[in-house]
């Protein structure tokens, strides 16, 4: 039995859960998320205990894998509508900078042209200064995917460390060419 899947998901006050036709809808102070779970598992909501429980119909390999996954995704939805998710990125390099104009993230990261990245729905990007970006949203997958796609535009290179990195990310540096005598 999945150890993660067995644990009930606590539902905090102020969060409404609706379950019907394999669709879970979570509504909280920050917004609403809905997700359709697989038929190998079932989700039940206990009003008195304020918990969500996930169970599976059989012991097949696929069902066991989806058991813990479903519970983890439900917990992510509840955390998203109550607290939200955030990823911080920093830019290092001379002349490298970021700006937000409307629903477009503008990046100057040492390429010939300025990069124009459209910001997806459900994600907000703020730029406190030109070297830092804060990506926020209620959907953990959207926030993480957008942060990873922005970082992939100019990954930190190992010789000078220039590029876009997660805040606090440690980039392994390589030694440059050695002088020949």
Full 3-state SS string of 56-89: ECCCCHHHHHHHHHHHHHHHHHHHHHHCCEEEEE
Q: Domain for residue 141, yes or no?
A: yes
Domain that holds residue 94: 85-166
Q: Do 159 and 153 contact (CB within 8 A), yes or no?
A: no
d(CA 121, CA 99): 18
Same domain, residue pair 10 and 74 = yes
Out of 82, 100, 119, pick the residue that ends a domain: 82
Same domain, residue pair 11 and 62 = yes
d(CA 64, CA 5): 9
d(CA 69, CA 176): 44
- The 10 Å CB-count burial string (b at 16+, else e) for 24-58 is bebebeeeebebebeebbebebeeeeeebbbebee
**pLDDT (0 to 100) of residue 1:** 55
Out of 26, 54, 82, pick the residue that ends a domain: 82
Q: Domain for residue 48, yes or no?
A: yes
Q: Do 110 and 93 contact (CB within 8 A), yes or no?
A: yes
Out of 82, 113, 137, pick the residue that ends a domain: 82
pLDDT one digit per residue (tens) for the chain, 181 residues: 568 888 999 999 999 999 999 999 999 999 999 999 999 999 999 999 999 999 999 999 999 999 999 999 999 999 999 999 999 999 999 999 999 999 999 999 999 999 999 999 999 999 999 999 999 999 999 999 999 999 999 999 999 989 999 999 998 999 888 777 6
**pLDDT (0 to 100) of residue 181:** 66
Q: Domain for residue 25, yes or no?
A: yes
pTM of this structure: 0.91
**pLDDT (0 to 100) of residue 80:** 96
Total domains in the fold of the chain? 2
Q: Domain for residue 109, yes or no?
A: yes
Q: Domain for residue 73, yes or no?
A: yes
**pLDDT (0 to 100) of residue 73:** 96
Among 54, 78, 52, 50, residue whose Cα is nearest residue 68: 54
* Cβ neighbours, 10 Å, residue 17: 21
Same domain, residue pair 119 and 63 = no
């Amino acid at each position: 039995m999945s150890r993660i899947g067995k644990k009930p998901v606590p539902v905090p006050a102020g969060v409404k859960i609706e379950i019907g036709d394999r669709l879970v809808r979570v509504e909280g102070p920050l917004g609403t998320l809905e997700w359709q779970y697989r038929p190998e598992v079932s989700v039940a909501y206990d009003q008195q205990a304020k918990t969500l429980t996930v169970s599976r119909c059989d012991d097949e390999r696929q069902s066991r894998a989806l058991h813990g996954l479903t519970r983890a995704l439900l917990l992510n939805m509840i955390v998203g509508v109550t607290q939200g998710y955030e990823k911080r990125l920093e830019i290092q390099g001379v002349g490298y900078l970021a700006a937000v104009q409307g629903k477009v993230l503008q990046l100057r990261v040492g390429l010939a042209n300025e990069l124009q990245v459209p910001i997806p729905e459900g994600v907000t990007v703020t730029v406190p200064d030109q070297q830092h970006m804060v990506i926020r949203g209620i959907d953990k997958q959207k926030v993480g995917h957008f942060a990873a796609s922005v970082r992939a535009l100019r990954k930190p290179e190992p010789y000078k460390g220039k590029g876009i990195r997660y805040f606090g990310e440690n980039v392994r540096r390589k030694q440059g060419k050695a002088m020949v005598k």
